[in-house]
A and B are shown apart, each in its own frame.
Chain A
Amino acid sequence: MESIIQIEKLTKRFPVGTGEFTALKDINLAFGKGEFTGFVGPSGSGKTTLLNIIGSLDTPTEGEVTVLGHSIAHLTHRQSAKLRNQHLGFIFQTYNLFPVYTVYENVEFALLLQQMPAAERRKAVLDALEWVGLTDKAHSRPAQLSGGEGQRVAIARAMVKRPAIMLADEPTANLDSKNSHHILQTMAQLNKELKTTFLFATHDEKVMAYLRRIISLEDGRVVKDEAMTPQRQPGV
């Protein structure tokens, strides 16, 4: 299968005090279209750092990371912003919704950046809200939502532009079991229907139950990379 993300000899070091801290060391990975994959490992193992580099929010210290044909190390700010806007969707542990906008406006945001025509935009936003089952909350503010609803809005906001890749960093960490399964079901469904590639960073067993590939990190190294038969499937 043709890969849409290639990582070769990736090393990431952060300056710490007078020295350096190596957060990722010699990572070699490739991901194909439609994967439903997770980085797992203890806290501090480098999951977020890896996801951020793939998301072009950070750059490699050494090695090459290519996302949809773009070398992350060589993108200008403007180019990486464009890559994120058009092809990457982010989901955060803390949802990161804009508090002063309504649910509808939060979802609409990325499309406004793309300068999508109003009619098309409206349809896309309403579709996305329907996916996550929040059509009736379109005019609520984030503060009026439950945690599960908040994260579903975040999924709608990331999905509305139909990105090729979704990057979800601990998406269930703030949710109870019922809500966790609800959003995982939603994401598995999107993965199945739209062939969107999902990459998770997680140490949540509930997430792992859905994954088809699990990459284990320890101290910034890949220690295991295995294909799984998911225990849970969309709709089950």
Chain B
Amino acid sequence: MLAIKLAFKNIIGAGFRTFLNIAVLSFAFVVIIWHNGVIDGWNKQARRDTIEWEIGRGQLWHPTFDPLDFLSYQDAHAPLSETVQALVEEGQLTPILIAQASAFPQGRMQGVILKGIDPGQKILKIPSGLLEARNGQIPALIGSRMADDIRMKEGDQLLIRWRDKNGTFDALEVIIAGVFDCNVPTIDGGQIWLPLESLRQMLNMPGEATLLVAGENYTGGDAEPWVFRSQDYLLADLDLIIQSKKGGGAIIYGLLLVIALLAIFDTQVLSIFRRQKEIGTYIALGMTRWQVVGIFTVEGSVYSILAILLGALYGAPLLWYTAKVGWALPAASTDMGISIAERIYPVYGAGLIAATIVLVVLASTIVSFLPARKIARLNPTDALKGKIQ
């Protein structure tokens, strides 16, 4: 308690240098929170979008289905058992059928994935209700990225060619019934959504599916032969990418933090040198050497406390503002392979703020402890004479 009071006085007495240290440290503090807030916000948004548009409460996969292996699609399908069909009718599950195909936009050939979805499904946000036949043609839905990619818009015709269950090639023209906007690349790029029943007929796979997406109310786990994949399982890749983004940012603010800590370290070394007589006097007045080490160490912590207060002063309105209006990504890159919105709304959780406070206080305490340790080995008579090197 005494040490904290002393530290405050000493620090405030030190003037401009103190202010500089505190300013840099507070800047590091705010940037750490802001950066992690952006990534957490992005993570939250990406998870929410992925859940709403692609994975629901989890998915039931055909046992041989491997989303990364296109060749597996050919065999990864099975008819729905009565129990599973009952769950589908209750709205707990919605089946998706997947097949590889080629599309011919503007005469070019391009590999695509066909996905059959029930137009009446309510589990995913994909606007499957737009899949209504027009002039007897099969309707297709594509995402806006795909639309840009193949230069198609609503009402255009697209020729697709596929192999059915028996390996026989077949082809037809579908009509683009709608283009949807969404941030989840895995349901957009290279994907063409068709009415489930149409795709079943095209592939000669009546009543079959590759996977089923679970809705809010889904209660079961596995359902023979389907293997249940939980949200966590399906979001693992996303989590991995988010973690690596966090790591990348840590280098930048880590550098900022290091600069601030070096400044504190330097100030401490200088202050121990300059305040030798004071140190000797503390000891003469009856402090132990370690108590004096404590005073100087606490000064470092007080730097961080003042930095946090200063950071709160200008950081709180700043962070609040960014959380409200969001942060427009300089170039919303589509090749990141994960969901990324054009505007991210940072999320500053209590945990993030608490962890950052602990980090900043701990780090600055340690850098002031390191030079202060020297005091413990000090000869008080040398200190009183100002003879320490």
Contact = CB atoms under 8 A, between A and B. Distances in A.
Interface of A: 52, 55, 57-58, 77-78, 81-86, 90, 92, 94, 96, 98-101, 105, 109-110, 112-114, 157
A113 B278 contact: no
A99 B286 contact: no
Contacts of A84: 283-286
Given A57-B381, A84-B286, 7 more contacts: A55-B284, A58-B379, A58-B380, A90-B285, A92-B384, A110-B286, A113-B285
Nearest to B379: A58
21 contacts: A52-B381, A57-B280, A57-B381, A57-B384, A77-B289, A77-B290, A81-B287, A82-B286, A84-B284, A84-B285, A84-B286, A85-B286, A85-B287, A90-B284, A92-B281, A92-B384, A96-B280, A100-B13, A109-B285, A112-B2, A113-B285
B47 interface: no
Nearest to A113: B286
A86 B286 contact: yes
A98 B278 contact: yes
B286 A94 contact: no
B10 interface: yes
Contact of A57 (B10, B12, B283, B287): B283
A109 B277 CA distance: 16
B221 to A, nearest CB: 63
The 9 A-B pairs with the shortest beta carbon distances in the complex, nearest first, are A85-B286, A100-B13, A96-B281, A81-B288, A84-B286, A90-B284, A100-B9, A57-B380, A52-B381
B378 to A, nearest CB: 11
B93 to A, nearest CB: 70
Contacts of B380: 57-58
Interface string B1-38: 01000000110110000000000000000000000000
B247 to A, nearest CB: 42
A110 B384 contact: no
Contacts of A86: 286
Given A52-B381, A57-B381, A100-B12, A113 B284 contact: no
B384 A81 contact: no
Contacts of B379: 58
A124 to B, nearest CB: 15
Query: Could you say which of B2, B12, B288 has the most chain A C-beta atoms within 10 Å of its C-beta?
Result: B288
Interface in B279-303: 280-281, 283-291
B50 to A, nearest CB: 57
Contacts of A78: 288
A101 B384 contact: no
Nearest to B292: A81
A81 B283 contact: yes
A115 to B, nearest CB: 9
A58 B9 contact: no
Contact of A100 (B10, B289, B384): B10
Given A94-B277, A99-B13, A100-B10, A57 B284 contact: yes
B358 to A, nearest CB: 28
Interface in B104-156: none
Contacts of B384: 57, 92, 96
Query: Could you say which of B13, B283, B284 has the most chain A C-beta atoms within 10 Å of its C-beta?
Result: B284
Nearest to B8: A100
Query: Could you say which of A57, A99, A114 has the most chain B C-beta atoms within 10 Å of its C-beta?
Result: A57
Contacts of A99: 13, 278
A113 B287 contact: yes
A98 B281 contact: yes
B273 to A, nearest CB: 16
Contacts of B12: 100
Contacts of A105: 9
B216 to A, nearest CB: 62
A112 B1 CA distance: 10
Contacts of B283: 57, 81, 84
Contacts of B13: 99-100
A46 to B, nearest CB: 13
A4 B381 CA distance: 23
Contacts of A57: 280, 283-284, 380-381, 384
Contact of A77 (B10, B277, B288): B288
Contacts of A98: 278, 281
A24 B288 CA distance: 26
Contacts of A83: 286
B261 to A, nearest CB: 24
Contacts of B285: 84-85, 90, 109-110, 113, 157
Contacts of B284: 55, 57, 84, 90, 96
